[in-house]
Amino acid sequence: MGLLPEVSLDDGEEVVEQWNANRTQGWRAVSGRLWLTTTHLRFAANAVDRATGGQAWAVPLTEIREVEVAPRSLRGGGPFLPGLRKRLAVRLADGTEELFLVNRLAERIERLRAAL
């Protein structure tokens, strides 16, 4: 495994875009990369965060119900408080929500909505 995050794709799946991102995982922000593919939204942690429990995450695009701006909050991120910035909220069909800190938030939301 390299230092940079890597993504495994299903047969026929192709990367559309990829962005540096922090994912809220429990009390912490996990640094890595977010991939928009032809069939999924995928996240992989960087090497340091993988070594300390940062987990990969993926969801089929068909399971995403909404993407929007999450308001600022102190929820998630422990001492680094990424919630002080607006984040990407990805709401899923099962009612769960994933939060990501990404640059150019409005542009990323527009791109994700177009992919859905």
Q: What is the pLDDT of residues 27-41, one digit of tens each?
A: 788 999 999 999 999
What is the pLDDT, as a whole number, of residue 111?
A: 96
Going along the chain from its start, the domains and CATH numbers come out as 15-115 (2.30.29.30)
pTM of the prediction? 0.86
What is the pLDDT, as a whole number, of residue 79?
A: 45
Q: Which segments of 1-116 are extended strands (E)?
A: 15-25, 28-37, 40-45, 57-60, 64-70, 87-92, 97-101
Low-confidence ranges of the chain (pLDDT < 50): 1, 76-80, 82
Instruction: Compute CA 46 distance to the chain's CA centroid, rounded to the nearest angstrom.
Output: 13
